[in-house]
Amino acid sequence: MTLAETAVQEGPLRTDRLTVHHVRRQAGGPQSPRVLFLGGSNFDLRLKRTFLDAPWVQHCDIVTYEPRGIGRTEQPDGPWTMVDYADDALAVLDAVGWATAHVVAESFGGMTALHLAARAQQRVTQLIISSATAGGPEHASYDIAEFLDLSRQDAARAALCLQDSRQEDLAKTDPDAFEQILAERVAFETAFAVPSIASGGYGRLLTARRGHDCTTALDGITAPTTVIAGRFDRQASPAAQRALAERLPNAELHLMEAGHGILFSAPEALDVTAQALGVAQSVR
């Protein structure tokens, strides 16, 4: 299969645990890297599509899906934990017939990836984790569940300033530019609210997120790991991400001049990911 012959599949994927809404984009031929991408806590594929245009994605067989609680993926009964999210990821690998995969993950997806690697390291070729922490009392990411009680306008403003500390300065120095960014975020928050917040699924996901703690498992995660962090990230602090990289036995840290959620937005992050996967460099 050539790049011109890229195959894209989207829709329900039945696993032995639940049915997820997934996207699979096959490109680069039969020898291309198999990548499981785990998105953040608001990874609704109606709204999050730009990652499909990333240069390195054009050279991979990539599978991703909306996590339980988000979008069109099923919401099983009972309380959820991060182990559930890790086991969902394993079930997706089984459903597509992959014994192993490169796991690329961002934010909440990075937390899931750590639990996945701790539970089934033999399934993980390597980890590429961005904007995520090991959790626990010392290195937890900010508890964004408190934003659920805010209006979508206030939640959008709070999220922007948390995810990139430079936004507060921008609001003062160039309020028109900030208001444009804010309007785009409000539109996203409004669209995301139905069904994910309205159904209660997002709240249940955030409850599981609050219990995230992989600190005691880190020493046993020996897969080659790339940690990509933003210097201006206040949601997953650079200090916590540095601590994650230092605790993992085979990890390297890349600290960039960026905020949260940089995996597909920062050119340097695109390059680092492409290099780790052994595919073509991104085009700046």
Span 100-139, pLDDT tens digits: 999 999 999 999 999 999 999 999 999 999 999 999 999 9
User: Does the structure show a pLDDT above 90 at 282?
Assistant: no
Nearest to 45 by CA among 25, 15, 60, 27: 25
Query: Can you give the pLDDT at residue 3?
Result: 47
Query: Can you give the pLDDT at residue 30?
Result: 84
pLDDT in tens, 210-229: 999 999 999 999 999 999 99
Contact 41, 107 (CB under 8 A): yes
The fourth-level CATH superfamily of domain 3-144+200-277 is Alpha/Beta hydrolase fold, catalytic domain (3.40.50.1820)
CA distance 159 to 234: 10
Query: Can you give the pLDDT at residue 281?
Result: 61
Contact 266, 258 (CB under 8 A): yes
Domain boundaries, the chain: 3-144+200-277
Nearest to 236 by CA among 163, 128, 145, 148: 163
Question: Would the pTM count as exceeding 0.75?
Answer: yes
Nearest to 43 by CA among 119, 140, 131: 131
Alpha helices in the chain (DSSP H): 82-96, 108-119, 136-139, 152-163, 166-173, 175-192, 201-210, 238-247, 267-277
Query: Can you give the pLDDT at residue 40?
Result: 98
User: Does the structure show a pLDDT above 80 at 28?
Assistant: no
Phi and psi angles of residue 224, each rounded to the nearest 5 degrees, phi first = -55, 130
